[in-house]
Amino acid sequence: MANEIHKNDIGTEFRCTITDQGEIVDLSTASLVQIIFQKPSGSTLTKNASMYTNGTDGIIYYVSVSTDLDEVGKYKIQAYVNIGGSEFYSSLGTFKVHHNLV
């Protein structure tokens, strides 16, 4: 992720590392990986994510497109994975989207 994220940024990469009790979760057999964003207004976006490598490192990522970061303020982020029919959610994270000059 960039050091500072701005409204309407396109191409910002969001990475999530999935752990369970401090141990990396092997996602190589996951049937679905997603990243959920909650905007400052409370609306949510659920985006399909990709494996950063082959899934054994527990890292998934998503790259923002237009309209993803269309609000200024504090966003929440959470990963979701489905492995073998079991559903798991990560801890919540936060990030701030800043104003632009124009």
What is the predicted pLDDT for the residue at 85? 87
**Residue owning tokens 């994975």:** 81
Residue 58 has pLDDT above 50, yes or no: yes
Residue 16 has pLDDT above 50, yes or no: yes
Provide the residue range defining the domain that includes 65: 5-98
What is the predicted pLDDT for the residue at 102? 85
Sheet of 50-51, strands arranged across = 13-17, 59-63, 50-51
pLDDT band at 43 (very low <50, low <70, confident <90, very high): very high
Residue 2 has pLDDT above 70, yes or no: no
Distances (CA, A) of 51 to 15, 41, 59, 72: 10, 29, 6, 28
Report the helix count and the strand count for the chain, using DSSP H and E.
0, 11
User: For the domain that residue 14 is a member of, what is the CATH number?
Assistant: 2.60.40.1930
Backbone torsions φ then ψ of 19, nearest 5 degrees: -130, 160
Residue 1 has pLDDT above 70, yes or no: no
Using CA atoms, how far apart are residues 79 and 77, in angstroms rounded to an integer?
7
Mean pLDDT, the chain, as a whole number?
A: 94
Task: Tally the domains of the chain.
Answer: 1
